[in-house]
Amino acid sequence: SIAILLYLARKFKTPDHWYPSDLQKRARVDEYLSWQHVNIRGKGSKLFLTKVLVPLLTGQPLPPEKLEGVIEELNIVLTQFEEKFLQDKPFIAGSEISLADIVALVELMQPVGAGYDLFEERPKLAEWRRRVEEAVGKQLFQEAHEGILNAKNF
């Protein structure tokens, strides 16, 4: 949860870029962390549920028109994310990675795990993903997402 991440960042005095002491940068991180619950998380999880879990549980694929609606909802929040939070910056809070970037990318990997490559036609988003992966470490990133990226194979 977000509360646990913030607690851990404060308790273990992580490097400042994760949860910046600069009030403007911290406000940017907090703004994203508050926004993402019903937007990126809500729409990304909905796609994962409808494309992977519902068919797995029911034995029936979702009707294409319902899936299209879910994808459209996700694309709306992806555009908002790019325009409002990424803008022309390398990361959400500026020039360094923060908790906001980690939380965002983790949520966006759910649709990818469902077989929907939301980065394919979004170069700004794809470049941001590359920067986040590099900042965390590509191997660690792949290990952390191994389960979700294989979910569509169930």
Which segment of 15-24, 86-95, 145-154 scores lowest on mean pLDDT? 145-154
Query: Does the residue 17 lie in any domain?
Result: no
Query: Does the residue 41 lie in any domain?
Result: yes
Compute, in degrees rounded to 10, the torsion defined by CA atoms 47, 53, 55, 58: -140
147 DSSP β-pair partners: none
CA distances from 44 to 10, 20, 121 (A): 28, 27, 16
CB within 8 Å of 3: residues ≥ 6 apart: none
How many domains are contained in the chain? 1
* Crossing angle (nearest 10°) for helices 123-136 and 138-149: 120
Rounded to the nearest 5 degrees, what angle is found at the Cα of 6, between the Cα atoms of 147 and 124?
60
**Per-position DSSP letters for 96-151, written without gaps between them:** S--HHHHHHHHHHHHHHHTT--TTTT-HHHHHHHHHHHHHH-HHHHHHHHHHHHTG
Query: Does the residue 35 lie in any domain?
Result: yes
Question: Is the confidence at residue 154, as pLDDT, over 70?
Answer: no
Greater pLDDT, 148 or 151:
148
Closest CA to 91 of 120, 130, 121: 130
Q: What percent of the chain has pLDDT over 70?
A: 98
Query: Which CATH number do you get for residue 133?
Result: 1.20.1050.10
Query: Does the residue 112 lie in any domain?
Result: yes
Query: Does the residue 33 lie in any domain?
Result: yes
In the predicted model, what is the mean pLDDT of the chain?
Answer: 94
Query: Does the residue 42 lie in any domain?
Result: yes
Q: What percent of the chain has pLDDT over 90?
A: 83
pLDDT band of 152, cuts 50, 70, 90: low
Query: Does the residue 91 lie in any domain?
Result: yes
* pTM across the whole model: 0.92
Q: For 38-71, what is each residue's pLDDT tens digit?
A: 999 999 999 999 998 888 889 988 889 999 999 9
Domain coverage including residue 61:
23-150
Query: Does the residue 12 lie in any domain?
Result: no
Question: Is the confidence at residue 1, as pLDDT, over 90?
Answer: no
